[in-house]
Copies of this chain bind each other. A is one copy, B any other.
Amino acid sequence: MLHSDELTGLKELLNSRQPGYGLPRQFYHDSLLFQAEIDHIWRQGWLFAGHSCQIPEPGDYFLYDIEGDSVIVVRGDDGMVNALYNVCRHRGSVICQQPEGHVKRFICPYHQWAYDRSGHLLVHNGMQPNLDKSQLGLHAVHAREVEGMVFISLAHEPEDFDPVESAIAPVARPQGLARGKVAKIMDFDVAANWKLVWENNRECYHCNVNHPQYIKANFDHYNADDTIPRVAERLKSVTLRLESKLGAAGISLREETGMTEFPDPDHGIWYAANRTPLEPGYVSETMDGKQVAPLMGDYSDPEVGTLRIRSLPNFWIHASCDHSVAVCLTPIGIDHTNIRMIWLVDAKAKEGTDYILDKLLPFWLLTAEQDWAICTNQQRGVSSHGYTPGPLSTYKEYNLDRFLRWYIQEMKTRLDQ
C-alpha cells in the first residue's frame, strides 16, 4: 500500500530515535506511521480480547472491536472458544448488534442467512440453489485460550502461540481465571497514543507522587538507586515467608525490587508472567490490603503475593488472591486509545454477600485514572513543536527503553517483510 518514498520516510523515522532517549514527536503525530503500526503490529500480533469466563455456555458471545472490525468471540458447541468476523458473507451486514449475548444460531438481520456457532452457513433461503454453502461460512479469526484468557490474531498466518502458552499457563494456572466471573467492566477513552500508555506502564518512576495507593502495596517502585537496606530487609523477610507457603505448590516467586524486565527486545519476547510479594500486611491490591472477595482458583491461603502477566501490544493483568484486574488497549486513532478494565472474582462469589464493588474497585480504578490523566497530559506535550525527546533514567526507565527498542525493532522487521 505504501509508496516507496513513504516507506523510506517511515524507515528514516524509525531510525531517528537516539539510544537512551524517548521517541521524537513524529512517532505520536504521523498518521502514516500510525497506519503502519495498525497494519504491522496490531493486525499481525496476538491481542487479548477478553476472558473466557465471560462466555461460560455454548452460544455465549462477546464482541471485540478494533479499527472498524468487529470480531465475535463465541463459545462453540464443543466448549472451545472461537473467533469469527461479525460480517455476513452475503451483503456484509454486521450480524451481532449487541456487545454481548447468547445465540442458538447467528442470523443476519438483513436477509436472515443463518450460521451455526462455528460459523458454518446453514440457511440462505432466496438464493440460487447451486451455491456452495461450505464456501460461505463466516470468516474465522485465529483464537487461543490460555487459562481463561482469550487471545486473537487478525493475521493470516500469525506467529506461533505455543511458546506464549508455555510461558504463561503454568504461572497463571493457580489463579483460576477460567473459573472466574466478571465483577465489573469499565471502558475509558484516553486521549493518548497507545505507546504512551505502555511507556507509562513500563516505569514506576512516576509512582511515588502519582500513585499513593499503589506504592503502599508494592515493592517494584523501588529501584537500584533508592532501595535502602530497610526495604531490602523487608522484602527478604516477606519473600521467605511466601516461598515457604508456595514452594510446596510449585509456585515460584520473584524477589528483587524494581520492575520485572519486560519486554525482551534482544530475543523478541513480547509476553511474560511472574509472581512477586506484596508489602507486609497486604494480601490483596486493595485500599487497606485486606482480602475483599473469596479466594480464587487453587488458592487455599490469601498470602500469594501478586500475579502479573503482560503481552504486547495490548494486555496486562494484576491478580491478587481474591480478584484480578485485566487491562486491554485498543487504539482508536493516533491520539486516542480505548482502555477496557475487567475485574474478575471467583465464579461462585455473590455480589453483596461475598464482595462489594466499593471495596473491590478503588485500588486499581484510582491508579488507572491517575495514569490515564498522566498519559493525556503527555500526549498534549509530545504533540508540541516544543517537544524534544529527553534522556531516560537508567535507574528507573530501563523497561521503557526495552519497550521502545522492541517497538522499533518490530516495526523495522515487519516493514521489511
Contacts and interface: CB of A to CB of B under 8 A. Distances in A.
A223 to B, nearest CB: 8
A30 to B, nearest CB: 12
Contacts of A395: 126-128
Interface stretch (A44-52, A90-98, A233-241, A289-297): A90-98
Interface stretch (A246-254, A269-277, A348-356, A384-392): A384-392
Interface in A114-153: 126-128, 131, 136, 139, 141
B126 A94 contact: no
B87 A127 contact: no
B93 A390 contact: no
Interface in A183-225: 199, 205-206, 209-210, 223, 225
Contacts of A85: 384-387
B385 A92 contact: no
Contacts of A387: 85, 87, 92
A71 B384 CA distance: 9
A393 B68 contact: no
Nearest to A22: B91
A41 to B, nearest CB: 15
B22 A378 contact: no
Interface stretch (A104-112, A317-325, A360-368, A407-415): A104-112
A128 B205 CA distance: 13
- The number of times this chain is found in the oligomer is 3
Contacts of A128: 391, 393-395
Contact of A205 (B43, B126, B225, B391): B126
Contacts of A389: 92
B205 A111 contact: yes
A227 interface: no
Contact of A110 (B91, B141, B206, B383): B206
Given A225-B126, A388-B139, A70 B393 contact: no
B86 A386 contact: yes
A22 to B, nearest CB: 6
Pairs A-B, 6 closest by C-beta atoms: A85-B386, A92-B382, A94-B381, A90-B390, A92-B381, A93-B378
29 contacts: A69-B384, A69-B385, A70-B380, A70-B381, A70-B384, A85-B387, A86-B386, A87-B386, A89-B388, A91-B378, A92-B382, A92-B384, A92-B388, A92-B389, A92-B390, A93-B378, A94-B378, A95-B381, A110-B378, A111-B206, A126-B223, A126-B226, A126-B393, A126-B396, A127-B391, A127-B395, A128-B391, A131-B391, A136-B390
Interface of A: 22, 43, 68-71, 85-95, 97, 109-112, 126-128, 131, 136, 139, 141, 154, 199, 205-206, 209-210, 223, 225-226, 374, 377-378, 380-391, 393-396
Given A69-B384, A89-B390, A126-B223, 15 more contacts: A70-B380, A70-B386, A86-B386, A89-B388, A91-B390, A92-B390, A109-B377, A110-B206, A111-B205, A126-B396, A127-B393, A128-B391, A131-B391, A139-B386, A154-B385
